[in-house]
Chains A and B, each alone.
Chain A
């Protein structure tokens, strides 16, 4: 089994969100970048397939040179090698087209991604990649088993789950449940040392055309102060919810 794990490079979840250049660019000043949290689930599941079923694991990112520490971190967690497609990831469709080239050239038959990037929250790259390659695709994946060519996949649905089956090749967009959170791997010293020697190949993009472009950003409007209600006067809360907020 040849596994490709798609790694999105995102601001740490506690980052302050600010914009520069007249609100046209994200301000990365002082921002710590990490592996997208959903992709960590995918990567950890991939490590399991490597250790238990002898799969090889390649990680890939479409991004500029600043994403390399994130790819090295994935190598330190245990991936065999890494690929960076040297392009600005401005649009999901374009990223998916770049990744499709990587999948075709590398002969991967299982692609693990996250259900969305925690920065742009597109939720589009894995599904588009699957459609471009005509691979089976399962979104919001919370369980994956592979036996030979056959995959058993669970996905989260509103109020429950669905079990699906498919043959490889397959792409899944994962989240918590794909592995348990306590099983997520963090790099250890040995992993970090080894990662330095593992191959990180930079490939040039096919320069796929974007379908969307972000013109500007806007922060959430400042909130009005919270109205405090006395704990002995919950009637007042109900009145406010009914008359003022009109939600009950």
Chain B
């Protein structure tokens, strides 16, 4: 018996979440008194995983797997779980991971728990704390099956260094047919995405119009942040739909969320509750967002944001 972790790569490089799930998998393996095996596909540098406790890394190198396919990937993970006699598979909550997870669960006849935010509160029965009701609450879920699949919510566990002397084993699974063909991928490169960002700077209707987003982008730039917006802003076409966060948009689980000119409606908060620290800049002291924030500035964005950019640049220069 071992714990199997799937560590995702993007163009050969590990995502930060790959290190997070490895850190988590190592701890769960300790709880269960077993070892952890980390599976990765087309990684340039699988040994990086040793830093987070990966005793054994299975690396699949195969050009046919350059493009993600949920069914094919799920089948590879299943083969790895069988080979390693793993009854517990841990994945992250990136778009690809949550896409393949239900298929994997059916392949393994496993119970599946998504949105897991902490180590198992008990291993027998196997009980997990999960986010639910669009981040307004948690639940404790018992997995009653022999095999289990869990997906760890982003940024909920963090990276835990735990250097081990690991080894990498090449793994050559059988590839199945999927019936689904990828014909093209359009991806903006070089820009931090909301999903991967440590910091997200977000603008609302308080910014009055798309022409005022220059300062939001500049602030994001200084933070090394992704930009986001409230729903009306994308509905009005001021910003692309891909930036809309909230209950009906993207979830944000960054370390820092800076909300400028956003009132803090319940549906907006549902999407940003999982961010660790929230800063709100709003002219209205009664804006509901202040109740959900950690730090607040009552003030006009058009005055506060330029000052913040300037001071942050100074700070970065002094702390470089």
Among the listed B103, B188, B294, which residue makes an inter-chain contact with A159, where contact means beta carbons less than 8 Å apart? B188
Q: Classify chain A: how many residues form its interface, as a range.
A: 35 or more
Query: Smallest CB-CB separation from A177: which chain B residue?
Result: B241
Known interface pairs A237-B297, A241-B277; A119-B105 also in contact (CB < 8 Å): no
User: Nearest Cβ in chain A — how far from B128, in angstroms?
Assistant: 9
**Residues of the A chain whose Cβ atoms lie less than 8 Å from the Cβ of B74:** 131
B216-244: which have CB < 8 Å to A? 223, 235, 241-242, 244
Chain B residues near A132 (CB-CB < 8 A): 106
Complex Cα–Cα for A205 and B312 (A): 60
- Judge if B124 is at the interface, Cβ distance under 8 Å: no
Contacts of A235 in B (CB 8 A): 311
Q: Which of B185, B189, B255, B279 contacts A162 (CB 8 A)?
A: B185
Q: Is B141's CB under 8 angstroms from A159's CB?
A: no
Question: CA–CA, A92 to B102, complex, Å?
Answer: 9
Query: Considering only CB atoms, which chain A residue lies closest to B129 in the complex?
Result: A218
Q: Is A190 an interface residue (CB 8 A)?
A: no
Q: B84-100: which have CB < 8 Å to A?
A: 94-96, 98-100
Are A214 and B256 in contact, with the CB atoms below 8 A?
Answer: no
* A-side contacts of B191, CB under 8 Å: 159
> Which residues in window 109-126 of B have CB below 8 A to A?
110-115
In the complex, how many residue pairs between chain A and chain B have their CB atoms under 8 Å apart?
257
Instruction: Say yes or no: B291 contacts A214, CB within 8 Å.
Output: no
CB of B280 within 8 A of CB of A226, answer: yes
Contacts of A140 in B (CB 8 A): 95, 99
User: A102 on the interface (CB 8 Å rule)?
Assistant: no
Name the one of B112, B273, B276 contacting A212, with C-beta atoms under 8 angstroms.
B112
Q: Would you give the 0/1 interface string for A222-248, flagging 1 where the beta carbon is closer than 8 Å to chain B?
A: 011011111100110110111001011
Decide: B180 and A136 in contact? CB cutoff 8 A.
yes
Which residues in A have their C-beta under 8 angstroms from that of B304? 231, 234
Complex partner residue of B141 from A119, A166, A214, A242, CB under 8 angstroms: A214
Q: For window 253-282 of chain B, which residues contact chain A by CB distance below 8 Å?
A: 255-256, 266-267, 270, 273, 276-277, 279-280
Q: How far is the CB of B38 from chain A (nearest CB, A)?
A: 21
Shortest Cβ gap from A6 to chain B (Å): 13
Partner among A13, A96, A128, A245 whose Cβ is within 8 Å of the Cβ of B266: A13
Question: Out of B111, B134, B273, which one reaches A121, CB within 8 Å?
Answer: B134
Q: Is the CB of A159 within 8 A of B193?
A: yes
Which residues of A have CB within 8 Å of B248?
A: 13, 37-38, 176
- A93 x B136 contact (CB < 8 A): no
A-contact 0/1 string along B167-186, CB 8 Å cutoff: 00000000000111111111
Chain A residues 121-143 with CB under 8 Å of chain B are: 121-128, 130-132, 136-140
Please report which residues of chain B, range 123-145, place their CB below 8 angstroms from some CB of chain A when the two chains form the complex: 127, 129, 131-145
B166 CB-CB contact with A under 8 Å: no
Which listed residue (A120, A131, A211) contacts B145, Cβ 8 A? Answer: A211
Q: Is the CB of A229 within 8 A of B296?
A: yes
- Chain A residues whose CB sits within 8 angstroms of the CB of B94 once the complex forms: 158
Chain B interface (Cβ within 8 Å of chain A)?
70-71, 74, 94-96, 98-103, 105-107, 110-115, 127, 129, 131-145, 178-189, 191, 193, 195-196, 198-199, 223, 235, 241-242, 244, 247-249, 255-256, 266-267, 270, 273, 276-277, 279-280, 290-300, 303-304, 307-308, 311-312, 315, 319
What are 22 A-B pairs at a CB distance below 8 A?
A93-B106, A96-B102, A119-B132, A121-B115, A127-B70, A128-B102, A159-B188, A159-B191, A159-B195, A160-B186, A162-B185, A163-B186, A165-B181, A215-B141, A218-B129, A226-B294, A228-B298, A230-B297, A231-B300, A241-B277, A247-B199, A248-B223
Given contacts A123-B98, A136-B179, A217-B140, 9 further A-B pairs with CB under 8 A are A17-B133, A91-B111, A127-B99, A159-B189, A167-B179, A210-B144, A216-B140, A219-B136, A241-B279
Seen from chain A, the residues whose Cβ lies within 8 Å of a Cβ on chain B are 11, 13-14, 17, 19, 37-38, 91-93, 96, 118-128, 130-132, 136-140, 152, 155-167, 176-177, 181-182, 210-220, 223-224, 226-231, 234-235, 237-238, 240-242, 245, 247-248
